[in-house]
Amino acid sequence: MIQRSARRFIALALVSATARAAQAQIPPSIEFRVPKAPTVAVSDSGAYLAYELHVTNLTSTPMTLRRLEVIDDASHATVLTLADSALLRVMARPAPQIPAAQRAKIGAGLRAYVYLWVPVDANHPPAKLLHRLTFKPEPPDTTRAVAEGRASANARAAVDTNLVVLEGTVTPVEREAVVISPPVRGEWAAFNGPSNSSGHRRLVLALDGHVAIGQRFAIDFLQVDSSGHSYHGDPSKNENYYDYGTPLLAVADGIVVETKDSIPQNVPGANSRAVPINMVTVGGNHVAIDIGHGRYALYAHVQPGSLRVRVGDHVKRGQVLALLGNSGNSTEPHVHFQIADGPTFLSSEGIPYATDFEVVGNCGVAGTPPAIVCTRHPATTVKGGIPLMNELVRFPK
């Protein structure tokens, strides 16, 4: 019995040594992928690519993402490098309770999102991007010893140099954003518009079995006067808002594929929704138009009973679809507008578009109680672009 046990131990030891040798050649199982390939977006401050990398640690060891490089796949030039606090700022975790400083440490079996915002040359964007990620495996005992200051200098050096570099996930770059006419005329504030940190940009949802950011490039358009107010008189009345009842225009020729017209309006205010907010009511009354080539224009929060079109209607560019209102998940009259690759607000992927406008200022929310503050500046003309978050823009009349 004793001899048999000893032989078994030797055999197990050999297997174990072989397995270790094999493991040394197999990189750690970490998935990183781009759910939606980026399209070049143009703004008054240059062109950019806004997309995400989803990083999933499929090993049994926590892995800290230390560095991320975005590389032009053709020239091998590094387009963007993120590390330290700059990397932490663009990372998020599905579990919001993970502290900001711990976002880069991806536990066994867990996922992180990296929100990328990559400046590019509008005329010569990379055709494909490659991603290089540097991880530090976190063996629990060594990490704790270093943290408590008990580790020897050698142990500390081993932790810092034990880095894993993974390269892969080549994503194509779509060069041409869909060209549209603006959904409204005149001057508007582009609240919650494209930025790397807006609420629209960071709403990742898994619906229909896959993740998507339908609102990646969504904008809440509203109108303000010269002192930044969006209303006159009593702010609890929808009709006192400057933009209330504005005609919403078809941004391209298309076919109406989805409408809702029966949700009552909210009294303006942070918490005064007229109906419980769920998947059916979140966008309020709305219109979706198929504008061709797998692209859809979506208009949300419109006035009940104001729809001028029905599902199946063919619409022409500039045609009035509905009137701006305050229904669904909305605090005051505005239009939530987005272009996406599907007719749903949340389960399709938001994409940028190209339209003409002038940037005439910037707006924000400040003070107590919070109030809109806008600063005007000389106009900058943008041809074939999309407004950035909180810009004050003027569309052609």
Report helix, strand or coil for 208: coil
Q: Which of residues 118-177 bind Zn ion (CB under 5 A)?
A: none
Helix (H) or strand (E) holding 16: helix 2-25
Task: Please count the residues of this chain forming the interface with Zn ion, following the rule CB under 5 A.
Answer: 2
Q: Shortest approach of Zn ion to residue 210 CB, angstroms?
A: 22
Q: Shortest approach of Zn ion to residue 91 CB, angstroms?
A: 24
Distances (CA, A) of 171 to 34, 81, 114, 126, 239: 7, 17, 15, 10, 47
Q: Shortest approach of Zn ion to residue 50 CB, angstroms?
A: 16
Long-range contact pairs involving 2-7 (C-beta distance under 8 Å, separation at least 24): none
Q: Closest CB to Zn ion among 220 and 261?
A: 220
Q: Shortest approach of Zn ion to residue 221 CB, angstroms?
A: 9
- Tell me the residue number closest to Zn ion, measured at CB: 336
Distance CA 181, CA 237 (A): 30
Place of tokens 């578009």: 353
Q: Closest CB to Zn ion among 135 and 191?
A: 191
Q: Which stretch binds Zn ion (CB under 5 A): 123-131, 154-162, 218-226, 348-356?
A: 218-226
Q: Which stretch binds Zn ion (CB under 5 A): 71-79, 89-97, 116-124, 334-342?
A: 334-342
Q: Shortest approach of Zn ion to residue 92 CB, angstroms?
A: 19
Distance CA 125, CA 44 (A): 17
Tokens of 152: 């020897």
Q: Closest CB to Zn ion among 104 and 339?
A: 339
Q: Closest CB to Zn ion among 49 and 218?
A: 218
Report helix, strand or coil for 146: helix
Q: Closest CB to Zn ion among 138 and 220?
A: 220
Distances (CA, A) of 30 to 104, 112, 118, 120, 131: 14, 11, 23, 28, 13
Fill in the amino acid letter for 291.
I
Q: Closest CB to Zn ion among 32 and 191?
A: 191
Helices of type H across the chain? 2-25, 84-89, 140-147, 153-161
Q: Which stretch binds Zn ion (CB under 5 A): 139-147, 171-179, 336-344, 382-390?
A: 336-344
Q: Shortest approach of Zn ion to residue 191 CB, angstroms?
A: 8
Distance CA 84, CA 204 (A): 24
Tokens of 136: 């530090």
Fill in the amino acid letter for 209.
G
Q: Closest CB to Zn ion among 219 and 252?
A: 219
- 336, 350, 363, 395: which one contacts Zn ion (CB under 5 A)? 336
* Residue 220 lies near Zn ion (rule: CB under 5 A): yes
Fill in the amino acid letter for 283.
G
371 forms beta bridges with 366
Q: Which stretch binds Zn ion (CB under 5 A): 71-79, 138-146, 272-280, 332-340?
A: 332-340
Q: Shortest approach of Zn ion to residue 171 CB, angstroms?
A: 27
Binding residues for Zn ion (CB under 5 A): 220, 336
